[in-house]
Amino acid sequence: MLFSSISFIYYFLPIVLMLYFLVPFRFKNSILLVSSLFFYFYGEPKYSILMLASSLSGYLHGLWIEKSRKSRYAKLPLICSIIFSIGILFYFKYADFLIENINWLFDLKIAPLKIVLPIGISFYTFQILSYTIDVYYGTSKVQKNFFSFAAYVSLFPQLIAGPIVRYATVEEELSQRNHTFANFAYGVNRFVIGLSKKVLIANSLGELGQVFSNLNESSILFYWIASVAFMLQIYYDFSGYSDMAIGLGRIFGFHFLENFNYPFISKSISEFWRRWHISLGTWFRDYLYIPMGGNRVGTVKWIRNIIVVWFLTGFWHGANWNFIIWGLYFGIFLVLEKVFLTEFFKKLPSIVGHIYTLFFLSISFVIFNTNNMIECIEYIKGMLGILNIPFSNAVTDYYISSYGLTLIIAAVGATPLSVKVIKKLKCYKKGEYILNILEPIVQILLLLLITGYLVDGSFNPFLYFRF
């Protein structure tokens, strides 16, 4: 079930909210657990058992870790937890990829398993791992109530596409949280904003991407437009989903951490990754990069640590070589920036850093979006004018006029400009008064507009389902 669907907005969510706020607090986690299981079952019935089994594994391993804390085998339950969780993830996500590459490497004909990827497995697996690791190191207390732990793992606002919510973030709120009108209002506003980003902007940009892929003729300019459109589409798609998840979490009394912070205003690739998919970046930093030694080791090992982390970051996104190359691409840039590029760009106007970052990000999302490297190289050739195509043509001009306004709105909306304007207006009493009146009106109008789009349109993909 998509958040951006009529069934979720007008059926599932109102029923869950009514039940949740009617029952006493001691039953609220049970309502969340049952509704989350139904939410997952609706879209992935046969893998609901897998998610429950993973939850049970995390819960039992947590108890085992706590019980073995002072024994000579204290690390054994943690190792078992990691092996079980990674093993499940590897089997369902990477087994066929491994078979395919073994067949290619050794000229074999092993039949693929044809496993359907369970929705959200990459996200809830990392959440379970963060729990068992934190319990082992004593940064989180063991959860002795299975239903509370299962509610954490399966919590529907962030279940299928994150952000990756660590147990430590919501540990206290699982047993005690406040429900206020201010939190509810903030949550509704944040949800509608995220829904608008997804339906009104991401979906429109996705349509432009489909147009490009179906064209028999193109131009250099159209290659660039399609590249930028996809880059903005995936931003609005994923950040919109994160906004909806954060908003829903706040409605139910949870404070999820931010997952995006205007990444396209970055002046370096390093800064971009401090602003993009923050929950994934910090997860790899805290649970892999730092334990490997981070930058507190020699140069060779430090470079190794970066490359390993970014290899796995790319591989986390999907069982395909383009994702691995995409991750290594960023790893190389991060090494180069830390060695000399950062100091070099400090001597130049900041606009140079912005242009450099946006240019290489555009290339990176071509790698991310194409199915193989032959297709990727062909695409990049088109962007660089190496193919025998014109700079522009009538088709390009037509689609620029059709989607130009959407691209401009998307580009401006990806900066903090609108937020700065609103904050500036709120500094004045009249401005704050007017905005307080306009906010609910705008929300209602946006929801009506979104509903119209969802009723009339069938193009409503969600890119991160495949991860």
Would 169 be classed as within a structural domain? yes
Are 206 and 119 in the same domain?
A: no
Q: Which helix (H) or strand (E) holds 378?
A: helix 373-384
Contacts 24+ apart (CB under 8 A), 333-342: 333/269, 333/360, 334/269, 334/270, 334/273, 334/306, 334/310, 335/303, 335/306, 335/307, 337/268, 337/269, 337/270, 338/270, 338/306, 341/268, 342/268, 342/270
Are 159 and 188 in the same domain?
A: no
Cβ atoms within 10 Å of 457's Cβ, excluding its own: 12
Would 351 be classed as within a structural domain? yes
Structural domain containing residue 320: 183-459
Choice among 295-299, 415-419, 429-433, 444-448 with the minimum mean pLDDT: 429-433
Give the Cα separation of 257 and 3 in Å (integer).
Answer: 19
Active-site annotation holds for 61: no
Would 466 be classed as within a structural domain? no
Q: What total number of domains does the chain contain?
A: 2
Check whether 383 has a pLDDT greater than 60: yes
Share of the chain above pLDDT 70, in %: 98
Tokens describing residue 86: 């990674």
Would 467 be classed as within a structural domain? no
Averaged pLDDT for residues 348-374 = 92
Are 152 and 284 in the same domain?
A: no
Are 170 and 201 in the same domain?
A: no
Are 93 and 159 in the same domain?
A: yes
Give the Cα separation of 316 and 94 in Å (integer).
Answer: 10
- Looking at every residue in the chain, the average pLDDT score rounds to 91
Give the Cα separation of 3 and 406 in Å (integer).
Answer: 22
Are 33 and 145 in the same domain?
A: yes
Give the Cα separation of 238 and 164 in Å (integer).
Answer: 13
pLDDT confidence of 190, banded at 50, 70, 90? very high
Residue-level pLDDT at 363: 95
Are 142 and 164 in the same domain?
A: yes
Are 82 and 219 in the same domain?
A: no
Residue-level pLDDT at 458: 59
Check whether 460 has a pLDDT greater than 80: no
Give the Cα separation of 97 and 321 in Å (integer).
Answer: 9
Among candidate residues 321, 8, 283, 269, the one with its CA nearest the CA of residue 164: 283
Averaged pLDDT for residues 427-434 = 85
Would 219 be classed as within a structural domain? yes
Give the Cα separation of 91 and 390 in Å (integer).
Answer: 46
Residue-level pLDDT at 429: 83
Are 143 and 201 in the same domain?
A: no
Are 163 and 206 in the same domain?
A: no
pLDDT in tens, 58-90: 999 999 999 998 888 889 999 999 999 999 999
Check whether 465 has a pLDDT greater than 80: no
Would 84 be classed as within a structural domain? yes
pLDDT confidence of 388, banded at 50, 70, 90? confident
Are 236 and 159 in the same domain?
A: no
pLDDT in tens, 266-288: 999 999 999 999 999 999 999 99
Question: 144, 177, 210 — which closes off a domain?
Answer: 177
Would 464 be classed as within a structural domain? no
Are 150 and 57 in the same domain?
A: yes
Residue-level pLDDT at 410: 95
Tokens describing residue 19: 């039940």
For Cα atoms 155, 160, 163, give the angle at the middle one, nearest 5 degrees: 75
Question: 157, 177, 197 — which closes off a domain?
Answer: 177
Averaged pLDDT for residues 319-335 = 94
pLDDT in tens, 102-160: 999 998 889 999 898 898 899 999 999 999 999 999 999 999 999 999 999 999 998 88
C-alpha distances out from residue 98 to 92, 101, 103, 106, 373, Å: 11, 5, 9, 12, 18
Catalytic residue among 61, 255, 317, 354: 317
SS3 at position 287? helix
Check whether 32 has a pLDDT greater than 80: yes
Would 1 be classed as within a structural domain? no
Q: What is the C-alpha R_g of the chain?
A: 23
Give the Cα separation of 331 and 343 in Å (integer).
Answer: 18
Question: 177, 208, 235 — which closes off a domain?
Answer: 177
Share of the chain above pLDDT 90, in %: 71
Check whether 464 has a pLDDT greater than 70: no
